[in-house]
Amino acid sequence: MKAVPIITLVLCALCSAQAAVINVPADQPTIQAGIDAAIAGDTVLVAAGSYIGVGNRDLEFRGRNIVVMSASGATATTINCQGSASEPHTAFWLHEAEDTSSVIDGFTVTGAYAKGAIMCSTSVATVKNCVLQANNSNGIYCFEPWGGPYSAIPMRVTGCDISQSTGNGIWINNRPADIRRCRVYANDTSGIYCYATGQNSVFSQLLLADNKNIGILIGENLWGGAKVENVTMVGNRVGLYVFSDFPKTGNSSKRPASDSTVIRNSIAAFNRSYGFLTWFTPPGTIGACNDSYGNDSANYMNMPFQAGDTLGNLSIDPLFCDRLAGDYHLSKESSCAPANSSCHVLMGVYDVTCVCCKLTTGNVDGDPADQVDISDLQALIDNLFFSLPITPCAAEADLDGSGSLDISDLQALIDHLFFGTPLPLCR
């Protein structure tokens, strides 16, 4: 092993010695007072509790790249902005050249009335492990003036829950986005709205559900190259919308001849209009190993797809564990599960974890009340004689435990319904 120079060790020790932890409220009475007492590299550690009023909202980092984090996580630490139309407030506003070493970690933010519950302009940040809910605003709002110094630096959002915003869950303009492991749902406009994104934006391991407009919009991707992977989009108006128009007068040098965005290993299901929608002049997006199913207008629009697609795209019911309850894990029979996928990869954000058959067999039609009745018999007959799919759990129909569905399963169900024979337990 190569020896570490003494001077390096000394410098590291000095850096560590300079970084401080400022506790709120033990050392400073408010979060802003803690920030004001910090220097670059320090951590402002906020104790569990609910924080309101002056000094605990409209928080500014003052150009310092610091970490502001809760000691006990978002479930125990809330910033209530108490904003209104006559008295607007946000939680955090970064606008003095902060970069991604500025971290906001582990807060629930509610009650914002502004452009965003967390805002940045001519700055970026890393937002981690936060819950942004019930804000009269976008959840996260980031704007960079055209050609600004941060137009190539991504806004990073990781491990966050963002819901019930009156605007978008996340709104980012004129800069890249790096958004991973988040749930963005039930927002009044789009889940994630990224316009004029920079090169190499990443959208990975995300759930976008029940947003009134678009799950993810990637618009005018300036340098191309966005990557969308392992994303589940359900119950939005549109699952994913990618659009570009090349070139733009006066800015043609900023745009490529085509967009090299890649969409892979993702699910767009049961959206009210389109699943995957691309709109290009000329086209260029690649979609591989995706499932788009049950979308009202079209599953794939302007995106290459046909039955037996060589890129591995599907249009098959993903068989979520319990869509009505918002459980988008996959049943073991799902074509999106790695064991069944034509690409042998997981499609969507959640793996196979549900056991669809519970207690006893027989609920062939997937009745939420787990009742077994004549409709289950009809569903099994439809499967055996008319090749209709079992919904949503094949294990419920395998009454004899043979691993396949056949006439003996039908006989077992008849015996239960008409002769009172007990139902077999799930296997």
Question: In this predicted model, which residue has the larger pLDDT, 237 or 305?
Answer: 237
Query: In which band, very low, low, confident or very high, does the pLDDT at 256 lie, cut at 50, 70 and 90?
Result: very low
Superfamily of domain 355-427: Dockerin domain (1.10.1330.10)
Would the pLDDT of 286 be above 80?
A: no
Would the pLDDT of 254 be above 60?
A: no
In sequence order, what are the beta bridge partners of 50? Answer: 78
* Domain locations along the chain: 20-324, 355-427
CB 153 within 8 A of CB 126: no
- Confidence at residue 354, expressed as pLDDT on a 0 to 100 scale: 78
What token pair was written down for 334? 């799902």
pTM for the model: 0.80
Would the pLDDT of 7 be above 50?
A: no
Which residues touch 289 (CB under 8 Å, ≥6 apart)? 264, 265, 311, 312, 313, 341, 342, 343, 345, 347
Tell me how far apart the alpha carbons of residues 174 and 332 are, in angstroms, rounded to a whole number: 41
- How confident is the model over 149-166, as pLDDT tens digits? 777 788 999 999 999 999
- Confidence at residue 224, expressed as pLDDT on a 0 to 100 scale: 61
Report the largest interatomic distance among the alpha carbons of the chain, rounded to a whole angstrom: 86
Architecture of 20-324 per CATH?
3 Solenoid (2.160)
CA angle, 90 then 95 then 97, to 5°: 150
- How confident is the model over 107-136, as pLDDT tens digits? 999 999 999 999 999 899 999 999 999 999
Query: In which band, very low, low, confident or very high, does the pLDDT at 147 lie, cut at 50, 70 and 90?
Result: low
